[in-house]
Amino acid sequence: MRYGVCLEMFFNDRPLAERIAAAGEAGCACAEIWFTDATAWASGMRNEPKDARAIRQAAAQAGVTLTNAVIGAPDGSLGGGLTNPTNRKQWLARADTTLRFCRDAGIGAAVVCTGNRVDGLSDRRMRKSVADGLKATLKLAEKYSVDLWLEVLNDKIDHPGYFLTSSDEGAALCREAGSPRLKLLFDCYHMQIMEGDLCGHIRKNLDVIGHMHAAGHPGRHELWLGETNYPFLVREIESMGYKGAFAMEYMPTLPAGDSLRQALEYLRAPAHT
């Protein structure tokens, strides 16, 4: 398994190039960021301008693969989201900028969040808007040779009002788009909250899963501080033939480097059933 880390949640006391190096030093083969501009959308994020060429160079020096960035905010407050068709022009403009940056920085994929539910629109109308928006965004993804990962989130704790909360529905949208560039981002933390039966849902939708995230639930802290048996889950995912990365996206309670090294040791330990 290739392991990764979200650099918005780890090593935030350092510039991005140093965070990339720290991820490699801790033992991660992969790393990812949220937004490609300087927008500090969430509390704790560094408001730091990002240079594509410098990021590419830092990753090469660290021997770390940059797997993904994020196009817009989950609720649509940044980028407009996909659920509201009146925001399509805004969304595509931000997608174009993000995907161009990803190409230049050597980042292989960009995460697509649907945005929140829109008052006055039916689920059917919002779903159609999401599907249409994905198709339009895929044209840009082809232009820049960057993949898209559709993310499913929980609306019970972290993202109230978010539209796409079912991994099966996310997988259906990916299949309907009919492009190998569009895959599902399966976040084990969010889906433990919304669905449970992680192995079952992953096995059912493995054909369209491109990336995975992990955090301990409850609390979204270290993987061993929660109810999910991650060593067992990782062994099961490997046995299914999953080829993507498995990335830590949690808020460490320990010093970032220590937390990440312990997480990797934990994941590589024999599974307990």
Q: Is residue 272 helix, strand or coil?
A: coil
pLDDT for res 46: 63
Residues 6 or more apart in contact with residue 13 via CB below 8 angstroms: none
In the chain, where the domains are located: 2-267
Q: Mean pLDDT over residues 234-244, rounded?
A: 97
Q: For residue range 158-188, list pLDDT tens digits in order.
A: 999 999 999 999 999 999 999 999 999 999 9
pLDDT at 248 over 80: yes
Q: Which of 158, 156, 78 is nearest to 112 (CA)?
A: 78
User: What is the pTM for the complete model shown?
Assistant: 0.95
Per-residue pLDDT at 234 exceeds 80: yes
| Interval 242-267 mean pLDDT | 98
What's the pLDDT score for residue 49?
A: 81
Helix (H) or strand (E) holding 140: helix 123-144
- How many whole angstroms from its chain centre is CA 152? 9
Nearest to 102 by CA among 46, 61, 56, 60: 56
- What CATH architecture does domain 2-267 belong to? Alpha-Beta Barrel (3.20)
Q: How many CA atoms lie within 13 A of 262 on its CB side?
A: 13
